[in-house]
Amino acid sequence: MIKKLNEIELLENYGLDKNHMQRVSILACLIFDKLNDVLFFYNDKHREYLKIASMLHDIGYYRGSKKHNKNSCKIIKENLIGFDEDECLIIGNIARYHRGKMPDKKKHRDYSLCDKNTKKIIKNLSAILKIADGLDCLHDDIIKNINIKINKNYKIIKFYIKVYNKLLTSKLLKNLLKKKDLFENVYKIQVIFYIN
pLDDT digits (tens, 9 = 90+) for 67-118: 999 999 999 999 999 999 999 999 999 999 999 888 878 788 888 888 999 9
Range of the domain at 57: 7-195
| Within a domain: 36 | yes
- Residues 160-181: what's their mean pLDDT? 94
Q: How many domains does the chain have?
A: 1
Q: What is the pLDDT of residue 105?
A: 80
What is the rounded average pLDDT for all residues in the chain? 94
| Within a domain: 40 | yes
pLDDT digit string (tens) for 6-34? 899 998 988 889 999 999 999 999 999 99
| Within a domain: 118 | yes
| Within a domain: 144 | yes
CATH no. for residue 103?
Answer: 1.10.3210.10
| Within a domain: 1 | no
3-state secondary structure of 34: helix
| C-beta separation of 162 from 130 below 8 A | no
- Residues 177-188: what's their mean pLDDT? 96
| Within a domain: 181 | yes
Distance CA(110)–CA(156), nearest Å, equals 32
| Within a domain: 23 | yes
